[in-house]
Amino acid sequence: MVQDHVALNFEKISLTSHGQNYSYKISCLRFWRKFSRLQKLTLYIVFFIVFILIYLWLFGNIMKFNNVMGLNIQKLPQLSNSQQEKELDLPDGVEAVKLNEIVNAEVINEKEQIAAPAINPTILELTSYGIKFPSASGHRQNAILKAFKHAWTGYQKYAWGHDHVKPISKKYNDWFNMGLTIVDSLDTLWIMNLKKEFSEAREWVSSSFNLDHYKDVNLFETTIRVLGGFLSAYHLSDDSLFLEKALNVGERLLPCFTKSPSPIPYSDINLVSHLAHSPKWSPDSSTAEVSTLQLEFRDLSRSTGRSSFEDVSFKVSEHIHTLEKYHGLVPIYINPNTGKFHRGSEIKLGARGDSYYEYLLKQWIQTGKSIDNLKNDYIEAIDGITTKLVRTTPQRNLTYIGELRAGTREFHPKMDHLVCYLPGTLALGVHHGMPYSHMRLAEKLIETCYLMYADQPTFLSPEIVYFGTNNDISRDMYVNINDAHNLLRPEFVESLWYMYQISGNVTYQNWGWSVFQGFERYTKVAGGYTSIGNVLDPDDTRPRDMTESFFFAETLKYLYLLMSDDRHMLSIDKYVINSEGHPLPTYNR
């Protein structure tokens, strides 16, 4: 009957034969004329209502999405995945995230969207590019993620845009006035897949990062935290804003090199007057500081095509290579006016000495293992460490690295927590072809570092430990009350990550988990995590009300990577990680 006729077959109508189409049209028209006026009117109304409903549904959804995201959907690039990869020139094996995957992911998490501030359209674009990391998996990795979010929330609430949060007084601290915590955290946010937080941080960088403060800043700290932070954010996200900021920072720091009469840079610079100078308390620069700039400055040159950054910074390494050393070991002070070591200064792998050794190896890796002087200086230094600084304790046979005192070069059985970066660096070296004996040393040292935590009732390491010697066998490893503070430092968990990544031994994961429990129990406060003054007494930890930016940049990042199901989540072949935990790409030469 009527209904039978109404069943229009659009397939047939679309046939190419004009004659067939025509006859169908005629029969439809006849059919339509058979309706009474009332029937026609009813059908008109039904069609109209259906049309309005479809329109409202579509329009409502678009508006809702726009309002929540602050987006203009039409501005989103309509690229296929392969087009995106082409445009971005991604390296082999690096997959561009599909744009619609990102949009869907954002829509699903509606609660979070509503809390989010308006996001610039370009931000959504950028999250669809860059290197993709998996979401947190498993109980442990999720616990680290939760800790990061807790610390980040405190920083956002009480210190946003300032260098550090003071999580107990719920205030902030400024050191260089550069929003250090934000810049230092960018790549951790990216790796942890915290897209909303990354977008907010990116927005701050875009609108508020400012170098026009009449202020002295330290060349080394600004390089590893700020320049390194921007460069790694650039490489991971593929967002050129970060490269632009990195370039601004590099340019401001250049006078430290160019104004020095020797290849050794001055340690400090005023960002506005551009006056580069030595620290107020000494004419010398720290050896570790001047030799821990090259990964970042080289990467800045390679990324921008401006060679001056690499040139001036590598001259430092080339110059130090020519200086006389003590079995490959360097004194911790060097003078930028003369270019010479302060020969009477201490030799150690803790503060002011540490990353000289680290950057010999890492520069060699960064440059495709093409610079032999770096490799040879590194091997000679590790030999020197083994023969001149490594000792074992009389009671537990713990292997540690001591220091050589200023002037006399007498052995001092003291080790900073900072030295605990070394097992990781040694393991990285072995992975890249350094002698296997380095791995044996790494394994022994990391056990001592573990006991620096496990020996304390808080399961947290002090800043410095001392060891018993053959002349004093009554004590094995001990702590002076003045050195009993813990600044939430990363070196031990950093080494655990390298050791686990290279050996696959889950003991290293378990040790990291125990240390994390110590942080949770004794440093967690309402506004985040705080440094403490005393690891020796769980009832008297003396909180210091301070979260250093390296807790976000390194400690939590390494713990997160350590707890990953995929121990190669961040490739140590494709990336070399700077002294502040920021991954930078490796090159062929």
The CA dihedral of 114, 119, 122, 128, to the nearest 10 degrees, is -30
Sequence-separated contacts (24+) of 104-110 with Cβ below 8 Å: 105/195, 106/69, 106/195, 107/65, 110/68
550 binds ligand DMJ (CB under 6 A): yes
Nearest approach, Cβ of residue 555 and ligand DMJ (Å): 8
User: Do 417 and 489 contact (CB within 8 A), yes or no?
Assistant: yes
Token pair of 345 as six digits: 């200064």
Residue tagged active-site, from 289, 455, 491, 494: 491
Site for ligand DMJ in 341-370 (CB under 6 A): 355
In this complex, which beta carbon is closest to ligand DMJ, that of residue 224 or of residue 576? Answer: 224
Task: For residues 458 and 483, give the distance between their C-alpha atoms in angstroms, rounded to a whole number.
Answer: 15
Minimal CA–CA distance to 429: which of 365, 493, 383?
Answer: 365
Residue 297: CB partners within 8 Å, gap ≥ 6? 223, 227, 250, 309, 310, 312, 313, 314
User: Do 175 and 163 contact (CB within 8 A), yes or no?
Assistant: yes
In this complex, which beta carbon is closest to ligand DMJ, that of residue 68 or of residue 559? Answer: 559
- 354 assigned to active site: yes
Q: What is the largest CA-CA distance in the chain?
A: 115
Token pair of 89 as six digits: 């020139």
Helix segments in 254-293, DSSP class H: 255-258, 287-290
- 463 assigned to active site: yes
Cα distance between the two ends of the chain? 81
With CB under 6 A, what is the number of residues at the site for ligand DMJ?
Answer: 8
In this complex, which beta carbon is closest to ligand DMJ, that of residue 199 or of residue 523? Answer: 523
543 strand-pairing partners: 532
Interface with ligand DMJ (CB under 6 A), residue from 579, 582, 584, 586: 579
Nearest approach, Cβ of residue 145 and ligand DMJ (Å): 21
In this complex, which beta carbon is closest to ligand DMJ, that of residue 355 or of residue 501? Answer: 355
Nearest approach, Cβ of residue 94 and ligand DMJ (Å): 27
Token pair of 58 as six digits: 């579509």
Task: Give the angle 463-464-466 at the CA atoms, nearest 5°.
Answer: 160
In this complex, which beta carbon is closest to ligand DMJ, that of residue 264 or of residue 553? Answer: 553
Nearest approach, Cβ of residue 292 and ligand DMJ (Å): 7
Site for ligand DMJ in 198-237 (CB under 6 A): 224
Nearest approach, Cβ of residue 128 and ligand DMJ (Å): 32
Nearest approach, Cβ of residue 358 and ligand DMJ (Å): 8
Residue tagged active-site, from 354, 358, 494, 548: 354
Handedness of CA 277, 281, 287, 292 (dihedral sign): negative
Residue window 450-489: x/- pattern of binding to ligand DMJ, with contact defined by CB under 6 A: ---------------------------------------x
In this complex, which beta carbon is closest to ligand DMJ, that of residue 129 or of residue 450? Answer: 450
Token pair of 115 as six digits: 């809390």
Angle, in degrees to the nearest 10, between helices 354-366 and 372-384: 150
Length of the chain in terms of residues written: 589
Minimal CA–CA distance to 210: which of 171, 162, 256?
Answer: 162
Nearest approach, Cβ of residue 561 and ligand DMJ (Å): 15
Residue tagged active-site, from 197, 463, 554, 580: 463
Residue window 482-521: x/- pattern of binding to ligand DMJ, with contact defined by CB under 6 A: -------xx-------------------------------
Token pair of 446 as six digits: 């990391």
In this complex, which beta carbon is closest to ligand DMJ, that of residue 197 or of residue 580? Answer: 580
Nearest approach, Cβ of residue 216 and ligand DMJ (Å): 18
User: Do 141 and 559 contact (CB within 8 A), yes or no?
Assistant: no
Nearest approach, Cβ of residue 421 and ligand DMJ (Å): 7
User: Residue 156, CB half-sphere, CA atoms under 13 Å: how many?
Assistant: 15
In this complex, which beta carbon is closest to ligand DMJ, that of residue 389 or of residue 493? Answer: 493
Nearest approach, Cβ of residue 495 and ligand DMJ (Å): 12
Helix segments in 34-78, DSSP class H: 37-69
> Starting from the edge strand earliest in sequence, which strands make up the sheet with 268-270, in order?
216-218, 268-270, 276-277
Interface with ligand DMJ (CB under 6 A), residue from 268, 298, 580, 583: 580
Residue tagged active-site, from 200, 221, 238, 268: 221
Query: What is the DSSP secondary structure assignment for residue 162, as one 8-state letter?
Result: S
Cβ-proximal residue to ligand DMJ, closest one: 579
Task: For residues 588 and 165, give the distance between their C-alpha atoms in angstroms, rounded to a whole number.
Answer: 40
Element (H, E) at 509: helix 507-523
Give the binding site for ligand DMJ (CB under 6 A). 224, 355, 489-490, 550, 554, 579-580
As annotated, the active-site residues are 221, 354, 463, 491
